[in-house]
Amino acid sequence: MNLFSQQASSFQKRGPLAPPHYLKPLLLFLSTLYRMVIRWRNILFDRKIFKIKALPCPVISIGNLSVGGTGKTPLIITLAEKLKDDRDVVILSRGYGRKKKGKIVQMTDAGLALSSAVLDHLGDEPTLMGLKIPGITLGIGPHRYESGVDALQGLQRPVVLLDDGYQHRQLHRTINFLVIDASSALLEENLLPAGTLREPLTQIKRADAVIITRTASHPEDTKRLTEYLTRNFRDKPIFEANPVPEAIHQLDRWQKKSIQSLQAMSLLAFSAIGNPRSFETSLQRCKLQIMTHHIFRDHHRYVARDLRALVEMARRQRCQGLITTEKDGIKLTSLFQSLNLSLPCYMLAIKMDILDSPHFFSWLEERLTV
């Protein structure tokens, strides 16, 4: 039984799996219908026929136009770490993948324990945010306005970060950030389900600013994307940000390791994120010896047989350990510690480095105080 949705040699360049050729006409027809639905939805919001609710504080939305990872989570963490020095930070998230239903308000602190119960309660991305940013409030639930009202109780100078909020137009935002991955080939994409676009490119007009991520590893794509944005959306400020390897942790001991200490080891990489190529780029920057990268579907819920299969494959390739992403690592820590497997597993933590950050945060502060 193949446990993986996709398996590929280390670092070969690839896009998403293409659908069978005979399905293309049907998918393009469905994309046309989808375009009509999205068009009318946006018209109804623009004309205020669909109600938009406002929270009594600044709201910063961070979202994208496409399905898949653009670096929103590490970007939100960077913003929250900066803003919490002067404000009470609230992060509103849908909590994708969690088992619990309804609204949850969770204060984070240094004692937040990582466990399967916490993951079921919060979801993987909010759990990661909570672990990395003590001293903030998480508001989790499908209705972000209601979660926000509860999360703001008792806070003196709040600011809300709306996770994956570009299409969540029901909540008013003070600043609307659109995040675009430079490696995503966004300009050539079709709408769902024929492509990965949630909305047409014309809806870039709703953004107050665009943040292009992974620009350092894709300079030509960044240049082309910047030219397109400058030509078609002249009033939009454009910022750049890049994921930077921050640390490596050994999961079975939750022990911090230096990147250099792993460079002599042969490793099997695996991930279940929206953009697995971004993980490969980070591993390359660390100069790690990766034999194979196995890719699960985004938000995959790992079970014991997944890890046992990974260890067995690593042994067949004479790997000395496994390595995964930070988002995957928090889902695996309790499971990995309970199995007592014969190979160590590491996770690579990254942070989002915003280019010319003084200018960016000056622009942000100016918008928040208007």
149 in a labelled binding site: no
333 assigned to a ligand binding site: no
Asked whether residue 74 falls in the same domain as residue 97, the answer is: yes
Question: What is the pLDDT, as a whole number, of residue 363?
Answer: 97
pLDDT, tens digit, 9 for 90 and up, residues 204-225: 999 999 999 999 999 999 999 9
Give the separation between CA 207 and CA 190, rounded to whole angstroms. 20
Ligand-binding site membership of 67 (annotated)? yes
Does 332 lie in the same domain as 200?
A: no
Q: Which sign does the torsion angle of CA 175, 219, 69, 201 carry? A: positive
Domain residues for 171? 59-242+353-368
Q: What's the average pLDDT block by block, 10 residues per block, for the chain (370 residues)?
A: 36 49 90 97 97 97 91 95 96 83 81 61 83 91 94 96 97 98 91 95 98 95 97 96 92 80 95 89 93 91 92 95 92 82 92 96 92
Is the separation of the CB atoms in 243 and 275 below 8 Å? no
Examine residue 14 and state whether it is found in any structural domain, yes or no. Answer: no
- Residue 112 sits in the same domain as residue 228: yes
Shared-domain flag, residues 124 and 220: yes
State the Cα torsion 45-47-52-54 to the nearest 10°.
130
Confirm whether residue 72 is marked as ligand binding. Answer: yes
Residue 10, annotated ligand binder?
A: no
Whether residues 89 and 222 fall in one domain = yes
**CA distance from start to end of the chain:** 58
- Gap between the Cα atoms of 333 and 264, Å rounded: 24
69 is in an annotated binding site: yes
CA 237 to chain centre: 22
Q: What pLDDT does 324 receive?
A: 96
The pLDDT score that the predictor gives to residue 113 is: 53
| 275 plus 325 within the same structural domain | yes
Q: What is the pLDDT of residue 8?
A: 41
**Whole-number pLDDT of residue 14:** 36
Cβ proximity of 79 and 286 under 8 Å: no
* Domain assignment of residue 45, yes or no: no
139 is annotated as contributing to ligand binding: no
CATH number of the domain at 338, please.
3.40.50
